[in-house]
Amino acid sequence: MATGGKTELGIDLDELRLLVGMSYRELARRTGCARSTLHDALTGRRFPRLDTVLAIAQACGGDTARWRLRWVAACKRSHAPRSEATMSLQATKPS
C-alpha cells in the first residue's frame, strides 16, 4: 500500500481525469503513457514520475505548475528511496 502523499496524489489525479470524463484508454492516447502505468499512478499503487503527472494534468486541462508543486511535496512526504526522489527532483531543475 502506498504511503504519505503517494496515494493522495494519485487519487487527486484520478479525480481530475473523472471530472473531464476521460477513460484510461483516452488518457493513454493523449499522454503517450501505457494504461498500466496510468492505472498504477492513479490508484497510488506506484509513485508516478513527474513527467507522467504533468502529462496527465495537461491532458485533463489541469494546471501543470500546480501539479509539479504537488508532486514535489509528495516526494518530500513519501518514504520513497532517496536516490529515486533525488534523481527525479534533479531532472526537474532548469539547466
CB contact at 8 A, 9 and 3? no
- Cα separation, 38 vs 42, in Å, equals 6
The sign one gets for the Cα dihedral 75, 73, 16, 56 is negative
pLDDT score of 87: 53
Residue 50's domain spans which residues?
5-92
Q: Which residue in the block uniquely carries the three cell numbers 496510468?
A: 38
pTM beyond cutoff 0.95 = no
CATH of the domain at 21: 1.10.260.40
- Cα separation, 95 vs 62, in Å, equals 25
| Per-residue pLDDT tens listing for the chain (95 residues) | 344 555 889 999 999 999 999 999 999 999 999 999 999 999 988 999 999 999 999 999 999 999 999 999 998 887 555 545 545 555 555 54
Domain count, the chain: 1
